[in-house]
Structure 1
Amino acid sequence: MTWKQGEQELSATVYIRRLSYYSAISDVAAMRGEGDVIAGRIAACIVDAEGKSVFTAKDISSEADPERGPLNANLTQALLLEIGAVNNLGKTPSSAN
């Protein structure tokens, strides 16, 4: 995937876990005020090559390290687009006729 950070275009290989029970639990917790939906979704879905989580929701929101700050807005958007693409979010499945 690619994204812009200022004038610089960056790229990275990302591994995405399909939406699952884990991501649903994270979404529900966020709706109850126990976290951030977007940070939870990214933390639940972005993994390394072995399928292990790369981020916690607190890493993304900067709660884990306030000096580092939250995840860059353009990177956040790029990750959400990739998560959506992997999970076919917003697309209607074609019917078999």
Structure 2
Amino acid sequence: MLDMARRGKRPCEIAELTGMSPNAVSCRLSYWRKRGVNVAPARSGPLPARRKICATGVAEDLRDLLKVHADLRGVTVGVLARDILDRAARDNLIDAVLDDKETDA
């Protein structure tokens, strides 16, 4: 994370790459700056497009199942859900995951 910040990555970009929240990244960078570590301030300019997913509509028992795997990876349930959807879609695994019908997509 520190190396990414030194190369000028924004906290939101570092968060996206590491699975941490942008606030957690900013706090950690602030911690290092206060202790004299040379970390450049975040670049100005337009923020990159962010992919967001809201896992609040997910049943609590399912969130609990996902939370176990999210915790093992050090990410939030929302980040894990987004990553699962991203991987399933990009690797054309929707039919295999749902196993309800073949769509030849």
TM-score by length of structure 1 reads 0.28
TM-score by length of structure 2 reads 0.26
Write 1 or 2 for the structure with the bigger share of helix. 2
Larger radius of gyration: 2
Write 1 or 2 for the structure with the bigger share of strand. 1
